[in-house]
Amino acid sequence: MLSVNDRALAQLPIQKAVPMLAQTPLSAAILYVDANSGQDGAEGSLARPLRTIAAALQRAKSGTTVKLAPGTYSQQTGETFPLVIPEGVILQGDEVSRGQNTIITGSGYRISPTFAGQNMALWVGKTAQIRGVTVTNKVTRGTGIWIESANPTIENCTFTQNNREGIFVTGTANPIITNNIFTLNGGNGIAIANNAKGQIESNLFQNTGFGLSLSENAQPRVIRNQFIQNVDGLYLNGAARPVLRGNLIANNQRDGIVLTARAKPDLGTATDPGNNVFRDNGQYDIDNATPDTVTSYGNTLDIKKIAGLVDFSGSTNGGSSGSPFSDVQGNWAQAYIEALAKRNVISGFPGGVFLPNDRVTRVQYAAIISRAFEPAPRRTRIEFKDVNASFWGYPFIQTAVQGGFMSGYPEGDFRPDQPIPRVQVLVALASGLNYGNGSPSLLMRYQDASSIPFWAKGYVAAATQRQVIVNYPTLAQLNPNREATRAEVAAIVYQALVNAGKADPIISPFVVTP
């Protein structure tokens, strides 16, 4: 495991800066960059884009958006690292896909006032913004983005295969880091040190070293994130004092939270409960190696998985009995599944399992629809030739069909045991709940929009507008013709209940927003 506090870094040669181009400053507030077709001698318009981010940054002033076309931006395409994003400049790729096809990969050497020489891909200035890009730095002890005593916004990005961490925050920095994915990074997803603060909200930390590593006097607010399948979810050192609210910390190989030195997180109070959920971590939910008692109030955790001094009298024992299903703990859709189970909309199987990755049949979906919405009849009864009145699903099929949610096939059958594709799940909701047709432009959210059947496009657009669609793990991939899983159906049906005003919202980074 690479230490996030290792400051003795291998020295790399300082790279030469891109020469200043003799260009008349653009009056427009957007500079376009395309690594595939651009030229750095061009004007930076949509018709004549620049080739490199580095060239655009030399021209950009506060308020300028540097808009990136899909592609890979690297030393091979002419970039000079680290890329320094000036104050007030927005670097924007594809936010819908979290930069899946807009990749910045490389490393350069720069001196940090608080941590000496560092290898980094980007250095972000005050009030700058990074949106919709993937950042990778594979160099030894390489960092994706370095934030030093600045207040930038990092949103809707992906950080993967960074040798040390995706983002390092230090000095007196106070950034907003939200709706990003951190995965397969060698050391940490995010490391925060020195006197830095910040808002870390609605991010996914998965399959990385430490999801979040805090040291020295770091004091960020850590809200509604998912820390799943990392070595440790959070690692706190020094006198770190983070505030944790509404996080899911589950299925980490070792511990949910590790506390060392004099670290002391705020895990909730009587007037401001933590609402953090700890589940199925390999060793401990909370591993407190400090001499101080940590208070956990309003959290769900397993009291058998506590090490050190922890007052958990204000929290709930969330061990194996904390969920009605033993196989959904740590699942991306866990909150949706449990919420619908409490409403008796869905149920599990013998042995206390839900089987979240199993396919949903048409009759099972009819049953879920019937229980969730209890629709009144709008159509006449249809007797399908393959559904006998004695069949267990007969009343559910009739309710879903008469309520306007589902239909049969031209041959006169319903095909109850046939797995239902995701697009039919969405069309049924849009039809039964009278969504109407949505704007076709909304389908641009999806990289695979061309796979949506023509007859379903208006319904899918309407479901997108109403924030009913949930795409895991990639927001921009609708997978309309893939058979829906039980977890996906639970999430989508719950979002439809939220839109109908019948359920409280569940925060998830996988809800597609228009």
Share of the chain above pLDDT 90, in %: 78
Q: What is the mean pLDDT of the segment spanning 454-472? A: 95
Q: What is the mean pLDDT of the segment spanning 147-161? A: 97
Decide if pLDDT at 14 tops 60.
Answer: no
Decide if pLDDT at 185 tops 80.
Answer: yes
For helices 486-499 and 334-342, give the axis angle rounded to 10 degrees.
70
Q: What is the pLDDT of residue 17?
A: 34
Question: What does the radius of gyration of the chain's CA atoms come to, in whole angstroms?
Answer: 25
Q: What is the pLDDT of residue 318?
A: 54
Name the pLDDT band for 309 (thresholds 50, 70, 90). Answer: very high
Give Cα separations from 203 to 222, 276, 406 (angstroms): 9, 14, 36
Q: What is the pLDDT of residue 514?
A: 78
Taking all residues of the chain, what is their mean pLDDT, rounded to a whole number?
A: 90
Give Cα separations from 403 to 3, 55, 397, 475 (angstroms): 59, 59, 10, 30
Helix, strand, coil content of the chain in percent (nearest 5): 20, 30, 55
CA-nearest of 345, 347, 341 to 370 is: 345
Q: What is the mean pLDDT of the segment spanning 270-291? A: 91
331: part of which helix (H) or strand (E)? Answer: none
Q: Which range, 96-100, 273-277, 419-423, is most confident? A: 419-423
Decide if pLDDT at 8 tops 50.
Answer: no
Q: Kindly report, residue by residue over 381-428, the tens digit of the pLDDT.
A: 999 999 999 999 999 999 999 999 999 999 999 999 999 999 999 999
Name the pLDDT band for 438 (thresholds 50, 70, 90). Answer: very high
Decide if pLDDT at 230 tops 70.
Answer: yes
Q: What is the pLDDT of residue 100?
A: 87
Q: What is the pLDDT of residue 326?
A: 83
- Residue 234, both tokens: 């959070």
Q: Kindly report, residue by residue over 466-514, the tens digit of the pLDDT.
A: 999 999 888 889 999 999 999 999 999 999 999 999 998 887 778 898 7
Decide if pLDDT at 109 tops 80.
Answer: yes
Q: What is the pLDDT of residue 28?
A: 46
Q: What is the pLDDT of residue 323?
A: 66
